[in-house]
Structure 1
């Protein structure tokens, strides 16, 4: 489904140039979830933005469904954005406070002619999929908790049944108990919808809960990747081992 080959992205120029991604190569098979792990500044969000066409790489290749993203023109790129959806990190700022939830999802279904009436059944079906009540369709974002807003953001990202989903730190702004609810929801949706997903997080414990494969990113470079069981059970790189030691409950974890 997704093939990334030696992708390089640099911000700035001259002595202040910063290489955010350095010859990154990875693949995501259809129906699988790859967890992308790394601390802040490792290049995770840059990779996500490159995958949805918001960042233009210096070099390298991105193929989604066999089509080269870096060579697409404006119209084709816009069509691709319908096939590739990103679920944002912040459920508080990702929803327009002036629009009802129904209006937000209607716009996702048909950006040119959004109509709650025309798409009401599809919207209600999507809300039920993420365990939200039917009356949410006529309510506004401020009427919901952070966890409920994240459920709505997930519903918006999945309502058009995209081929590929990017979940960018979607639990980082939530309480631990609410994080568990969202992770369980993602786990269920992976099975029910057969999602192909890139799940981005700085938290290895969170990634382990939802991922088939794991990619570890450090300062713009991939230092380790493989099946989740192997990466967690037999980490090869010192950085991966350090991340694992920082997971609560691990032998090396410390709150000091």
Structure 2
């Protein structure tokens, strides 16, 4: 078990609907994520990326196959055991505003992440402030509400909320797609820094190859629920084998906004 991948997915299938109206969204997907690595899952809308992310965190139940976390099969886990195992894999959502209760402060949201049963800001104040500062948010953010923050600030809070439980794996689902280009670059710089400082293990879901090129160790390309290409980032970008991967690469704009070299503000 000591050498097991952080996440190992085997022959994963996900089907939506019933009877004649069923749609198979994932077709026998295999995926390994080594500890400390970032694996990018890339594909256009409808490729099955978000369904895979939901299956990894237990929101969607597979119709076949298995998901192992640290060598333990969690596919059939139930009750308290399932909750315990699933806390080891945390999702950073695409739209943090919809995942934050507008009636609760940021401090309350983070306290609930630490202890869902007995959320208490006072008990976890120091830890909450520490994580806010880790994502470059001021300590007084604990008293603010989601609508008082910008999109980039809410995404930083979502990152802090995902990491505060110290998960074994982080699933980042299109976390920059709803942001302006300049803010995307700031969030990517933050993720790169946290990867190094915290030794994060991450599955990074994106449709944008310009983004994942700068953040991933390995790349998996999904097309209509099938893995059509998989390899190190260097291999996939230098010599893509599948025509779909080549089409995605040809569509990448040369946007300077995706330069994630540390800015003066970020390293200050």
What does 1:202-221 align with in structure 2 at a 5 Å threshold? Answer: 202-221=207-226
How much does 1:178 deviate? Answer: 0.2
**Secondary structure class of the residue paired with 1:210:** coil
Structure-2 residue corresponding to 1:34 = 39
Query: Runs ≥4 in structure 1, deviation > 4 angstroms?
Result: none
Inter-partner Cα distance in structure 2 for 1:131 and 1:204? 26
- For residues 116-148 of structure 1, the C-alpha deviation after alignment (integer angstroms, 9 at most, x for no partner) is 111000001000000001111111111110000
Structure-1 residue corresponding to 2:206 = 201
How much does 1:14 deviate? Answer: 4.0
What does 1:45-84 align with in structure 2 at a 5 Å threshold? Answer: 45-84=50-89
What does 1:43-122 align with in structure 2 at a 5 Å threshold? Answer: 43-122=48-127
Structure-1 residue corresponding to 2:249 = 244
How much does 1:54 deviate? Answer: 1.4
What does 1:89-238 align with in structure 2 at a 5 Å threshold? Answer: 89-238=94-243
RMSD of equivalent CA atoms? 1.1
Inter-partner Cα distance in structure 1 for 2:167 and 2:98? 22
5+ residue gaps, structure 1, are 251-256
How much does 1:92 deviate? Answer: 2.0
Structure-2 residue corresponding to 1:2 = 7
**Secondary structure class of the residue paired with 2:98:** coil
Inter-partner Cα distance in structure 2 for 1:50 and 1:203? 21
Inter-partner Cα distance in structure 2 for 1:73 and 1:13? 23
How much does 1:102 deviate? Answer: 0.7
Return the TM-score normalized by structure 1. 0.95
